[in-house]
Homo-oligomer: A and B are copies of this chain.
């Protein structure tokens, strides 16, 4: 009998921190473990080499007339430090109450094990299930999936044979309210480095004759938002997909307790563009944020210096229909136009990601054509989740970014059905990460029903 919790514990014991070169054995252990597990339930497993960490591609079912679901997951985890803040060791899974603690328990080993367990149970019950299943499990998600685009390009013919991608790597608000994530924000990042004088200057001897690069950087930053919180760049909102009423309704169902959210953030007041609630703004609007700023003397006390350089790290989150390349061009144009001519300015490209949206069937007033199998998957998920969790799922776009979802769509044409499973209190990327085992058990049952429905009876 397949024991999901024991298997998950075993999975967590492999310290598979992709970013840490010291975790080579942990990465290999996690690969071997998950590959072995899939072999044991009847999959044919291939380990696809990349420049860094291999991707596991495991398949069952060869009949090309059967529906074909591609289940995505990742076997790598975030670094576990600061280790001293963990109540039980990060890589020694421990159950306390109804939670399993350990690095990766929620991101993404628990949700991945949920689907593996669902498949294991389903195939035990129906060994001849008419469903092709491909597991595509990467080992670089926590590093930004650097090898994934190349893998997609070389394996696109094979992946195009799928009908849709199924995964759980997004969030839910409460244990009984599942969310099907219908969109992810994109990203455009850059650094702006401003140089004033060729070396640091004494602010007494030379103060008053030149523009301090900190002043130039702060004047630039201050120009990038309107007082009411919108991004002040011409054309920035031009391509933003309008929000439909069904989507606002879904967001309203998610919750309306702004006081609780404000308390969670620990801020005196929200600062949201007009016409949008905070719950809407993070999901359907693009942003421009300053992720870091630096220049001059940052130590204790004082140093009366005019620094030679100052910098700011900027990131834009993009929403559906915005193009990273266009936003990057608009942003750079604004920076270059606004930067005063008495300093010099360098812009350093950082990475980017395309936003993603999939509209569930029977929702939009202006529906787009969708593959029947994708629509079937959405309807199956809706039913299965309502039955198992006692409530239908919400269909929400999410503020975060998983750039590979848009990459998969672009390269293979496949959309993704993203069934959220982790809770705010799961502490992703933080000490004492855990996964709610009730959510896991119900997730397995829901996943099993969804896969069975897709296979047809």
- Residue positions of A touching B, CB distance < 8 A: 19, 144, 171, 185, 187, 189, 196-212, 214-215, 217-219, 221-223, 225, 229, 261, 265-273, 278, 281-282, 285-287, 289-299, 301-307, 310-313, 315, 317, 340-344, 350-351, 398-401, 424, 428-430
Contacts and interface: CB of A to CB of B under 8 A. Distances in A.
A321 to B, nearest CB: 17
B399 A206 contact: yes
Given A282-B206, A350-B301, A201 B265 contact: yes
Given A208-B282, A285-B208, A295-B292, A344 B268 contact: yes
Nearest to A222: B222
Given A295-B292, A296-B293, A271 B185 contact: no
21 contacts: A171-B205, A189-B304, A196-B267, A198-B265, A202-B400, A207-B282, A207-B287, A207-B289, A208-B282, A208-B285, A211-B229, A214-B293, A218-B218, A218-B222, A218-B290, A222-B222, A292-B307, A293-B296, A293-B310, A294-B295, A302-B350
Given A218-B293, A290-B214, A400-B205, A341 B429 contact: no
Contact of A266 (B171, B197, B289, B429): B197
Contacts of A214: 221, 290, 292-293, 312
How many copies of the shown chain assemble into the complex? 2
B185 A290 contact: no
Contacts of A282: 204-209
A18 to B, nearest CB: 12
Contacts of A285: 208
Contacts of A350: 301-302
A178 to B, nearest CB: 17
Contact of A313 (B199, B208, B296, B430): B296
B225 A222 contact: no
Contacts of A271: 209-211, 340, 342
A296 B304 contact: no
Given A269-B342, A293-B295, A341-B269, A209 B278 contact: yes
B287 A315 contact: no
Contacts of A298: 292-294, 311, 313
A100 to B, nearest CB: 20
Closest 10 CB pairs of A and B: A198-B266, A204-B400, A222-B222, A292-B296, A218-B221, A209-B278, A214-B290, A292-B297, A218-B218, A269-B342
